[in-house]
Amino acid sequence: MFEIYRMQLGQILGSRMKWLVIIILSLPVLLTLAVATGGALEELERELGREEFSKSVAAGVIPKTARRVTWEGEDILFMGGRLGLTREGLRYRGRSMSQDEVRVVNDGYLIFLDGQLWIDDTKKPQSENYRIRSHDRVSPDTPNGSGVTLTVNTASALYLFLLYPQALCLLISLFYGTSVLGHELTGKTLTYLFTRPLPRWKFILGKYLGIITALLIPTSLSLLTSWLILGALGGFSVFLALLAATVGALMAYNAIFILFGFLIPRRAMIVALLYGVVFEMVLSFVPALVNQFTITYYLRSFVVKTLDLQIPHEAIRVIGGASPLAALIAVSVVSVGGLAISSLLAANREFEIHDQA
Amino acid sequence: MGALLEARSLTKLYGVVIGVNDITLDLEPGVIGLLGPNGAGKSTFIKLITGQLRPSEGQLTVLGERPWANMRLFKRIGLCPEQDSFYDQLSALEFVTSLAKISGLGSGAKERAEQALERVGATEFMHRPIGTYSKGMRQRTKIAQSIVHDPDLLILDEPLTGTDPVCRREIMDLVASLGEEGTSILVASHVLHEVQSMTDEFVLIHGGRILASGKVHEIRSLMNEFPHRITIKCDDTRKLAQALISELPLEGVSIDAEQGEIIVMTRDPGQFYARLPRIALQAGIHVRELTSADDNLEAVFSYLISVH
């Protein structure tokens, strides 16, 4: 099995093919460079944190009748990581309230988003408390007076997630994973392997690990470069979380695409492309249970939860609200399941290579 | 050692198409030619023997084992497949070493690969990528990977296709010496002459059935009834054709100048192959490739079927 692993590594990183990998992986770096120099992410961050994000992602949550309230730091009450807000305090003057008062008085419709407070007098409250992340830096003299600045640049972290685990890992896995079998069949080289004492599950596992290793090296370098271009945002833990999501994406996607290759050898790539676009790109953002059947939802959840990104409560269902444990289970089930079914299919299938010479 | 191969009513269907049909055959260890025109079922039969296909009906044992997905058997057989396919970016040494490791040779794999490559005369070019090889070099590499693990049964599928005269000779000598060392060898070919030069034991296959098996002299005279067609690729077709006509008794010669080919019809291919190198050398012509067409074999088979 190790020999198959080694051969697969060589196939991807050896000779001509490595240039393809290098080109593919330098594109996102260029994109990040363009985005960073153009200031697009700061813009996005501003939009995300304030108006655009609230309107688009949390549409319907912040009603049209809502108005933004300018705030003076001490009027917000932090208790056990939660923001409590009273109508009295908001309207009139800053004073600390007891926990009981907060619970009773809060009858407005309130949203706390990126240090800004929205209130809708016409609505009843859906929730008494709005959560502030425990490691958010709280300061009374922030420019907007909200008393809250974010330690993690949410927009940039999400941008890197979309670029690497969600898009790039999907695409390169699609290219290599679906062709594990096809490459050996069209190259007519499978005969050399399948007439040797090599159980087929070892062939699959060797190829799988070979692809992941070969793709992980340049992908993580590319991710590291992009992260550095964005000013090493949020510290090394942000890079590590994104790297973990990248590994998870490569594991799960390659297992799925290898399975596609065995299920439908001739059409694997096109079906995989459809799956990728429809499920992992589009449906993963549809907050109606369906996105919980996509891999990227769990990986996104993992990044959001481990980095404690500032996502409005209402948008969590779109972005991803699963626990890191659920993400781990999802990736494991998909990877092991995909490989196991592929192995079963391979063990019982005749692979015939015709010589058309 | 027991029987090399035992087939009982062995049948392989592809949907409704029959690949091999009701083959019952016993083979003892030795060097055996598997002879049949293209599409006769040779490839299907070989794929059944090497465990790439499962029989639809009937039984097959090779070296006492059922071949399908049988790792025990795979350690003991070597296959030189028909298709001219490789991992072109690898060198012959890397290619054969990798396959030797998969065959379970472990840390000795590289050394064994070097020995196998030396044996097929590939030492000189074994460090270059396979993608840069001539047809003959590729053929040698393909044979090296099939003998690297010292198989008890070696299966060579059309080993002489597209090789030059020197390479042909060397492959034939290799088969002879492996045979003498006790390796059983099954040589599949659509050209009687090729098989005949390596063994006098043969199995004739046609239409998915075994037509005959036994000693080659039994059909030799029959073969001579039908002229043998050989295609020669060389640099000066006109000059070589002239030399051939003046030196050899030929039934017909035609020249395809565009392809750089001469097509020769002869009733005595043995004499033709024996004398061609000298004739070409004297005329100062470089012969690149020799291919035997199977139409005379086809004619023999048609005849055999009609008398069956």
Up-side HSE of residue A57: CA atoms within 13 Å toward CB? Answer: 21
pLDDT digits (tens, 9 = 90+) for A210-222: 999 999 988 999 9
* Complete edge-to-edge strand list for the sheet that includes strand A116-120: A67-69, A116-120, A109-113
Which residues neighbour B98 within 8 Å (Cβ) at sequence distance 6 or greater? Answer: A3, A6, A7, B90, B109
Mean pLDDT of A222-227: 91
Average pLDDT over residues B28-44: 89
pLDDT for the residue numbered A128 = 32
Which of A190, A192, A351 would best serve as a mutation to test chain B binding (most B beta carbons within 10 A)? A192
pLDDT at position A55 is: 34
- What is the reported pLDDT for A305? 85
Residue A250's contacts (CB-CB under 8 Å, 6 or more residues apart) are A169, A173, A211, A212, A215, A216, A219
ipTM, two decimals: 0.79
Residue A273 forms contact with B (CB below 8 Å): no
Scanning every residue of chain A, which has its alpha carbon at the shortest distance from the alpha carbon of B71? A197
Rounded to two decimals, the pTM is 0.74
Contacts of A4 in chain B (CB under 8 A): 102
Pairing of strands B201-206, B31-35: parallel
A17-37 vs A169-177: helix crossing angle, rounded to 10:
170
DSSP A138: E
Contact A114, A57 (CB under 8 A): no
- Which of B72, B74, B86 shows the shortest C-beta gap to A195? B74
CA distance, residue A15 to nearest chain B CA (Å): 7
- Structure tokens that stand for A216 in this block: 């992980």
User: What residues of chain B lie within 8 A of the CB of A16, using their CB?
Assistant: 89
The rounded percent of chain A whose pLDDT value lies above 90 is 28
Q: Closest partner residue to A347 among B69, B87, B89, by Cβ?
A: B69
B189 contact A CB<8A = no
Least trusted range by pLDDT, from A103-112, B51-60, B239-248: A103-112
Q: Are strands A130-131 and A82-84 parallel, antiparallel or unpaired?
A: antiparallel
pLDDT at A154 over 60: yes
pLDDT of A254 higher than 50: yes
Say which residue the tokens 């439908």 belong to.
A264
Q: B89 to chain A: which residues are within 8 Å by CB?
A: 10-11, 14-17
Return the minimum-mean-pLDDT range out of B22-26, B156-160, B179-183, B205-209.
Answer: B205-209
- State the pLDDT at residue A149: 38
B192 touching chain A per CB within 8 A: no
pLDDT of amino acid B236: 87
Tell me which of A25 and A173 has the higher pLDDT: A173
Asked if B227 and B219 touch (Cβ cutoff 8 Å), the reply is no
- Which residues in chain B are closer than 8 Å to A19, comparing Cβ atoms? none
Whether A355 and B83 lie within 8 Å, measured CB to CB: yes
pLDDT for A86: 39
Tell me: pLDDT of A293 over 60: yes
Q: Which amino acid is it at B155? A: I
Q: What pLDDT does A45 receive?
A: 59
Question: Which range, of A83-87, A132-136, A167-171, averages the lowest pLDDT?
Answer: A132-136
B83 CB neighbours in chain A (<8 A) are 188, 191, 353, 355, 357
Q: Is the per-residue pLDDT at A299 higher than 50?
A: yes
Two structure tokens written together for B120: 């097929």
Are A355 and B75 a contacting pair at CB < 8 A? no
Q: Positive or negative, the Cα torsion across A30, A214, B84, B137?
A: positive
What does residue B57 show for φ and ψ, rounded to 5 degrees? -145, 160
- Do B190 and B22 form a contact (C-beta atoms < 8 A)? no
> Which of the pair, B39 or B1, is modelled with greater confidence?
B39
Tell me the mean pLDDT in the region A266-294.
87
CA distance A188 to chain B (A): 6
Question: CA B89, CA A342: separation in Å to the nearest integer?
Answer: 27
User: Nearest by CB to B98, which of A3, A200, A352?
Assistant: A3
A201 close contact with B: CB closer than 8 A: no
Cα B217 from chain centroid? 19
Q: Which residue of B has its CA nearest to A349?
A: B53
Collapsing DSSP to helix, strand or coil, A218 comes out as helix
Q: Is the pLDDT of residue B290 over 50?
A: yes
Answer whether residue A131 shows pLDDT above 50. Answer: no
- Whole-number pLDDT of residue A138: 33
Q: Mean pLDDT, to the nearest integer, of B223-242?
A: 82
Cross-chain residue pair B75–A197, CB shorter than 8 Å: yes
The pLDDT, as a whole number, for residue B296 is 61
Residue entry with tokens 């609230």: A54
Which pLDDT does position A153 carry in this prediction?
Answer: 64
Distance CA B177, CA B174 (A): 5
Residue of B nearest to A7 (CA): B98
Burial of residue B306 (number of CB atoms within 10 Å: 0-12, 13-18, 19+)? exposed
A128-147 mean pLDDT? 34
Q: What is the pLDDT of residues A173-189, one digit of tens each?
A: 998 899 888 888 888 99
pLDDT at B213: 80
Q: Is A161 exposed, middle or buried (0-12, 13-18, 19+ CB in 10 A)?
A: buried
pLDDT exceeds cutoff 80 at B29:
yes
Residue A137 has pLDDT above 90, yes or no: no
Residues B168-221 have pLDDT tens digits of: 889 999 999 999 999 999 999 888 777 877 888 889 888 888 887 877 666 656
- Give the closest of A17, A192, A195 to B51, CB-based: A195
Residue A329: C-alpha distances to residues A233, A299, A322, A339, B191 (Å): 28, 11, 11, 15, 59
Query: What is the residue-averaged pLDDT of chain B?
Result: 88
pLDDT in tens, A68-82: 443 333 333 332 223
Strands B201-206, B209-215: pairing is antiparallel
Mean pLDDT across the stretch A58-70? 37
Q: Within the 178-197 window of chain A, which residues sit less than 8 Å (CB to CB) from chain B?
A: 187-189, 191-197
**CA trace torsion B171, B172, B174, B177 (10° rounding):** 180
Rounded mean pLDDT of chain A? 71
Whole-angstrom distance, CA of residue A138 vs CA of residue A155? 19
A23 pLDDT band, cuts 50/70/90, is confident
- The pLDDT-based confidence of B128 (bands split at 50, 70, 90) is very high
Q: Amino acid letter at A41?
A: L
Higher pLDDT, A348 or A52: A348
- Residue with the bigger pLDDT between B45 and A183: it is B45
SS3 for chain B is: CCCCEEEEEEEEEECCEEEEEEEEEEECCCEEEEECCCCCCHHHHHHHHCCCCCCCEEEEEECCECCCCCHHHHCCEEEECCCCCCCCCCEHHHHHHHHHHHCCCHHHHHHHHHHHHHHCCCHHHCCCEHHHCCHHHHHHHHHHHHHCCCCCEEEEECCCCCCCHHHHHHHHHHHHHHHHCCCEEEEEECCHHHHHCCCCEEEEEECCEEEEEEECHHHHHHHHCCCEEEEEEECCHHHHHHHHHHHCCCCEEEEECCCCEEEEEECCHHHHHHHHHHHHHHHCCCEEEEEECCHHHHHHHHHHHHHC
Q: How many CB pairs under 8 A join A and B?
A: 76
Grade residue A353 by pLDDT with cuts at 50, 70 and 90.
confident
Residue A62 DSSP label: B
Q: What is the pLDDT of residue A335?
A: 97
Mean pLDDT value across residues A180-203 = 91
Structure tokens at A14: 């050896």
Q: pLDDT value at position A63?
A: 37
Give me the residue label for tokens 């990126």: A114
